[in-house]
Structure 1
């Protein structure tokens, strides 16, 4: 074992947070203490980013009317998604897909404007700004789970409409509505699996060797 490895109990905690992280939709009453929220956002901010561009921007939603407006946009997209799903639309409409009005804290994560100026690591893969922001969101998710808070990533919204609502500059792009707060319990498995919507696939089906589709 590497001399740089964490002690056994600390390693176990990291792997537990990864294994028990859930995309939460059900929240209960409560608050997130300011010091805890600051700690979680700092964990997100410590994520790696291509060229150290740190493309993420966090918008904390504290006004009820703004929260309700975001919920309305998500509901509009939920209806459009159900229509696009065709015969699965009715089943989709029975799923709970967000907890925007119930969660203790609501955050919007966006990509900054002016990203085209950052070339390092993005000349052939410009989408690495999105990958970097996703790392920040995952950091936030794992830290929240370790702190006993639930978190849900909502992606059912029109980016242009949400950007306009939040007065984002041209070029900035919202990528996530984050619901955060206390939960009564964590799902024993991904909610979509529990609801029969989809089944997780095992790693061996997704691991190739040396070329696409080649097993080991």
Structure 2
């Protein structure tokens, strides 16, 4: 018996009120990569669930929803994860030289042990089958979809007064072994999550002189590559 076609549910796409709109842009503009401002205050389960629901509400190619979330609270496990980071961080420092290396070594680049919750966001590239709608010609779309989930969580966290830090300095094989993640599952993000009472007013790397924000006007082209915009 054939399934009857289901009429899609539609709702009015009304603009947000000025107050609602401003709150969205505030979350975007005040989002920070937190490394050292975490408080020891536990995150209630209902708050964590709201953050994970925000992540789970992200768009995904072919609606494949390729993400999984590993919640890490155990102090011993976080200490082991920090050791994985520390090993890679020493390797990374050696990729710089002179003053740049000294500046790098002065930066705190993670909050693994300080944040009460660590969260690993993964991508199951097999979810949805071999042929996924929308991924037929760009096989990376499932990875991009999972990054959208991370951004959703990050913005929701800002609204909750929760800080998030993305740790990217580690050898994936070491982290995979520590958390028993299958080889076919891709690690997208290792996040440190905790309440904060202070945030930098600009990105920390800008505040500490590592790199400044580029001018938006220099990044916009019109009609084709490298044609400056008239806007």
TM-score by length of 2: 0.89
User: Which protein is bigger by CA-based radius of gyration?
Assistant: 2
Name the SS of the counterpart of 2:20 in structure 1: helix
Aligned counterpart in structure 1 of residue 155 of structure 2, from 135, 138, 142: 142
- 1:120 corresponds in structure 2 to 133
Q: Which runs of 5+ in 2 are unaligned?
A: 1-11
1:40-189 matches, within 5 Å, as 40-87=51-98, 88-114=100-126, 117-189=130-202
Root-mean-square deviation (Å): 1.5
Name the SS of the counterpart of 1:114 in structure 2: coil
Q: Distance in 1 between matches of 2:81 and 2:225?
A: 41
Name the SS of the counterpart of 2:196 in structure 1: coil
> 1:163·1:173 contact (CA, 8 Å) conserved in 2?
no
Q: Distance in 2 between matches of 1:51 and 1:3?
A: 22
Q: CA deviation at 1:8?
A: 1.1
Runs of 4+ in 1 over 6 A off after TM superposition: none
1:8-23 matches, within 5 Å, as 8-23=18-33
Superposed CA offset, 1:71-111 (max 9, x none): 11111111111111233222101101000100121111111
> 1:23·1:151 contact (CA, 8 Å) conserved in 2?
yes
Q: CA deviation at 1:121?
A: 1.9
Q: Which runs of 5+ in 1 are unaligned?
A: none
Q: CA deviation at 1:118?
A: 4.3
Name the SS of the counterpart of 1:179 in structure 2: strand
Superposed CA offset, 1:110-139 (max 9, x none): 112525724322232111111101100000
The count of corresponding residues between Structure 1 and Structure 2 is 215
Superposed CA offset, 1:129-167 (max 9, x none): 111011000000000001111111111111121111111
- 1:5 corresponds in structure 2 to 15
> 2:73·2:116 contact (CA, 8 Å) conserved in 1?
no
> 1:53·1:118 contact (CA, 8 Å) conserved in 2?
no
TM-score by length of 1: 0.95
Name the SS of the counterpart of 2:122 in structure 1: strand
